[in-house]
Structure formats: C-alpha cells, structure tokens
Amino acid sequence: MGCEVTTKERAGIINPMYDCQPAGAQYAGIGIKDSIPLVHGGQGCSMFVRLLFAQHFKENFDIASTSLHEDSAVFGGHQRIQDGVMTLARRYPQLRVIPVLTTCSTEIIGDDVEGNINVCNKMLKQEFPDRKVFVVPVHTPSFKNSQVGGYSECVLSVFKTIATRKVEPTGKINLFPGWVNPGDVVLLKRYLREMGVDATIFMDTEDFDSPMLPDKSIHTHGRTTVEDIAASTGAIASVALARYEGASAAEFLKSDFDVPAHVVPTPYGIANTDAMLRKISEITGKPIPESLVAERGVALDALQDLAHMFFADKRVALFGHPDLVIGLAEFCLEVELKPVLLLLGDDNTKYKRDPRVLEMKKNVDWDMEIVCNADLWELEKRAKDPEHKIDLILGHSKGRYVAIDNNIPMTRVGFPTFDRAGLYRHPTMGYQGAMLLGEAIANSMFAHMEYTKDREWILNTW
C-alpha cells in the first residue's frame, strides 16, 4: 500500500488528455495585451486550438498562422514567417508583441526562426521607424512536450526577449499563477488588494471573461503589458504558484537580474492557500487581513458540513495539468476524499521528485497510483475495473464519456470545460475556490444519488 509513480506502458495514445506544445504557447501568448501569436505551421495547428479556447471561454481570440503548405515543407517556410510578421504589423497598428511559435513540421524541416526574426526586425525598423514590435522566437515542437510545457516555454521566451535590463526597484512582486481561469485571476487580485500588496500577475487573463459594452468594443485579450514585463526585473520578488507553468520565468529573473524567486504550493485547498498568503506576507511585510481569515473560516465551515458525512473514504480519480492534479489531490486529503488515481498527460521525469508527491508517498496509507504520460484510456480502463471502485472523477470535459459510460459522478475542473456553463468565471484557487469546489463535488454526488436512487433519502435529513 502507498503512493506509486508509474508511466503508461503503451507507446501509443488513445484519447489524449492534453493538447500539444503550441496550444499552451498560444494560451500564454494571448495573455499579453496587444499580442497576436503567429503559429508557424499548418492551418490546423492554430484553428483547432482556437476552437478549444472558444469552447472553453465562449469567446474568440486573435491567433495567426503562417499556413504552411507542401512547397514550404519541402523548400522551407522562411518567407511565410516574414510575410506573416509583416502582414500582422501592417494590419494591426497597435500590435506590440508577436510570438512566433514553431510546430512539429517546422522544427523537423529545420527552419531558422531566429534568423528569420532578425530579418523581420530589420524590415519592421525600416517600415515602422517610430514603432517597436517585439518578435519572440518560441520553440514548441509537439513531439517534445505537451501544452503544459508549451505554456512555460512561451512565458520564458517572452521574458527573455522583453525583460533585457535591470530597472529601478518597483516595490512590486511578480506573481506567476500558471494556466488559470479568469475567476482565479480575479480572486488573486482581490487577495492582494485586501493585503495591500502591489503585484503584477503574469499572464493576466481576467478579460478572457469578456464584457459586452455599450460601445460594442471587444475586450477579449490579456491585460499583461510590455511595460509590465520590462518592469519585472525591478520587482522585490517573484512568486510562482505553478511549478510547471511559469516558474521558469521566475528562475530566469532570479538568475539574470537577482530577483528572488519563490515557488509555493499551488493554492488549491486550505493549507496551500495558507502557505501562499504566508509567503506573500513574509516577502512584503504585509499582514494577512481579518477579511481573509473570515473567508477561511467560512470555507472551513462549509467543507466541514460535507466532509465526514459525504466525502469520507470516497475514492477519487483525477486527471489534467500536473500542478492542478497534485494540488487537487492535496485538497482531497483535507476533506477526507481518497485520491487513488492521478493521471498526468506527459512524461516529465521531475514529477517523481516533486516535493508534494514525495510528501504523499510518505503519508498515504492506501493504494494511490500516479500515472505519467497517461491518456484517458488509462482512466477508462480503471473505471471499468471493479477492483478500483472509483466513486468520483475530477477533470476537464474530455473525460465526460468515461464518467457517463461507467455511471460515475464527475466534477468538471481544468481546461477545457465546455459542457458546463461559466466555470471559467469561478475560482478554484484560494479559500473561496476550495469552498466552491467542495460544493460542486457534493452537488455532483447529490445529483448522482438522485439519478440512481442510491440513498437519496439522506438528502431529506441532512
């Protein structure tokens, strides 16, 4: 008995859990204001990712493609990069950042992205002498990593391109939350505001929950500006909330500009949120306000109402991004749920050495399996096996058919979630997020009890 970290034995992928590296890079790229990522590859490398974003947020996002065809695949896509960059610069006069994202095909044929960007910079300077456009090389071949690695790679490349010199101290902290929803960004901003902490969130996705304004203007874009990124070198510290999504940029600022970097547990659940707030308080000297202490108490009370009566010893399978899955597993332990299966969709050797995983290996006294390089077939195989006895599934909408076919209640969390309304608006982080997630899990169980007529009478007496 205990926690075991394994790797999927099959070479092939059946029903993938993640998208490819360029997908993650595109998500990071659209988190910057006045930025349009240019995907250097086939049309589908941007089209299908835009579809995922539209499904999840019910909004449209500007993402361009070099639309590589057969001739470019044979003779090289250099001209496509140059044409793409110049077309974007001419069509969008406010454009300031163009991340050029490579794909499988362009990495295999060996296109010289950096060389082409040098050519583009000369052309931009000649045609637009009074305008600065940052063209960022981002190497994201799909065969190397997943959307998780692609997000991190794009954030790091953007910072290396824009944050090139040490600026005067700003008194701010850099906060890297990772791949999160607008609801989480809004919550983090509220926490920082209530603590009186001046901080910049990278990448700021608050406006992905786009308002519909009287003047019919569109505000579906990131809020992180070029100035924010350039000023990051003068921050008092960087705090990364996701070990695998953005912490590399915090480490870059530390190594090149001596900005202290802190990687804290992703704030899912009570204890992890406590750790995040304590670290921010330690860095800034700002106390944790009574308003957040009260919010913590409300969340504890709400979760206590559910834990022992409904959650105790329920066996949970989780899948999705590593920081999300590991953080949610820690939350499950807080509320007496038993995480028995954690599926991570890529094969990062660091997962086995993750301090959160090592802590679970020490403390878990039941069979828990963490499967790296997993796909949703691994979930389906175990869901069908009576020995695993999975009572609940936590993950994004791509796992819905496993839950339906095996009559297992499922709570949606992660990306993409497109079969439930407005989840991108609800925080999962923080005390409020813990309370909302606990209640969502309980309501999934309650609906399943009613549908299957399994002790639904308990709900009359609760």
- pLDDT of residue 192 exceeding 90, the answer is yes
pLDDT at 76: 73
Distance in angstroms (rounded) separating the CA atoms of residues 202 and 191:
16
- pLDDT of residue 213 exceeding 70, the answer is yes
| Mean pLDDT, rounded, for 361-373 | 92
pLDDT band at 203 (very low <50, low <70, confident <90, very high): very high
Cβ atoms of 436 and 426 closer than 8 Å: yes
User: Per-residue pLDDT tens for 13-50?
Assistant: 899 999 999 999 999 999 999 999 999 998 889 999 99
CA dihedral in degrees (349, 346, 26, 39; nearest 10)? 100
pLDDT band at 461 (very low <50, low <70, confident <90, very high): confident
pLDDT at 215: 83
The DSSP line for 240-277 is ES-TTTTHHHHHHHHHHH---EEE-----SHHHHHHHH
- pLDDT of residue 1 exceeding 70, the answer is no
Q: How many CA atoms lie within 13 A of 412 on its CB side?
A: 18
- pLDDT of residue 317 exceeding 80, the answer is yes
pLDDT at 263: 97
Distance in angstroms (rounded) separating the CA atoms of residues 334 and 320:
20
Distance in angstroms (rounded) separating the CA atoms of residues 315 and 312:
9
pLDDT at 130: 94
Q: Output the pTM of the full model.
A: 0.95
- Average pLDDT along the chain: 94
pLDDT at 216: 73
User: Per-residue pLDDT tens for 398-452?
Assistant: 999 999 999 999 999 999 999 999 999 999 999 999 999 999 999 999 999 998 9
Cβ atoms of 158 and 26 closer than 8 Å: no
| Mean pLDDT, rounded, for 226-253 | 97
- pLDDT of residue 205 exceeding 80, the answer is yes
| Mean pLDDT, rounded, for 285-310 | 96
- pLDDT of residue 4 exceeding 90, the answer is no
pLDDT band at 224 (very low <50, low <70, confident <90, very high): very high
